[in-house]
Amino acid sequence: MKFALLLSLLALPVLSFAEAPKSTGVPATTPMQRPEPGWNARHATFNEISKQGTAQLVFLGDSITQGWEGAGKEAWTKHFAPLNAAGFGIGGDRTEHVLWRLENGNFTGLKPKAIVLLIGTNNTGHQGREGYLSPADETAQGVKAIIAKLQQLTPDSKILLLGIFPRGADPTDKMRQQNEATNAIIKNYADDQKVFFMDIGEKFLVEGGVLPPDIMPDKLHLTPKGYEIWASAIEGKVKELMQ
């Protein structure tokens, strides 16, 4: 009996601790509301902007997009405010939170000429929080679901899908590597008719792929200089898509 048990244990597959974690579900594609009052208040504000139906350019994303209201305010005023732009960014959002927002009023009544979508770094960065997993392929599925929802809500809008920005000090950072893996998938969603892809990540880096503190002091969020780099890098393409 003991010998049989030993044989059965030896027959079990050997798991490598180096293997990337795999989630059993796909949280990245499951719309999820966040409980914070501030989050819901911002969501409601975006719904009101959507009902007005006047914004011609919308930036959709997380804290990096929300940062246009802070560190990026000067660059926003210079480059995008004249284009009748609105920012729909909420700090901490992952793809599933953006999906919930889109299913609950964001963009309802809004038909912008162009949408700038930057999302996914929190899917990467929140790994391990309360068991949360979202490997690159699943994060990419979440981005794809957002694109599909936007095309359902506002089919005539052009979508500028941005590669997730680099994070971490240098190329050895595991989170940066996951973002790069996600970008390698989502770039294929561009059809150059309604969806266009740009990866401007290298513009934030210096020699050796290092993120300098005057651009991303916490290796994630942009300074005013970083926002100017971002704005300058995409302004021409944004204007082209809005024609």
pLDDT tens digit sequence for 117-163: 999 999 999 999 999 999 999 999 999 999 999 999 999 999 999 99
E strands in the chain:
57-61, 85-89, 114-118, 158-162, 195-198
Q: Which pTM does this prediction carry?
A: 0.89
181-208 burial code (b ≥16 CB/10 A, e <16): bbbeebeebbeeeebbbbbbbeebbeee
Q: What is the pLDDT of residue 4?
A: 36
- CA-CA distance, 235 to 227, in Å (whole number)? 12
Is residue 63 among the annotated active site residues?
yes
User: For residue 80, what pLDDT is reported?
Assistant: 98
Confidence bin at 229 (pLDDT 50/70/90): very high
Angle at Cα 117 formed by Cα 136 and Cα 21, nearest 5°? 10
All domains of the chain in start order, with CATH:
56-242 (3.40.50.1110)
Locus of tokens 């049989």: 4
**What's the pLDDT tens digit per position in 65-79?**
999 999 999 999 999
Catalytic-labelled residue, pool 63, 126, 137, 232:
63
Measured distance CA(20)–CA(42) in Å, rounded: 35
The model's confidence at residue 109, banded by pLDDT at 50, 70 and 90, is very high
Whether the Cβ atoms of residue 152 and residue 99 lie closer than 8 Å to each other: no
Assess whether pLDDT exceeds 50 at residue 21. Answer: no
Match 């694109």 to its residue by tokens.
Answer: 147
Residue 211's pLDDT band, with cuts at 50, 70 and 90, is very high
Q: What are 58's strand-pairing partners?
A: 86, 115
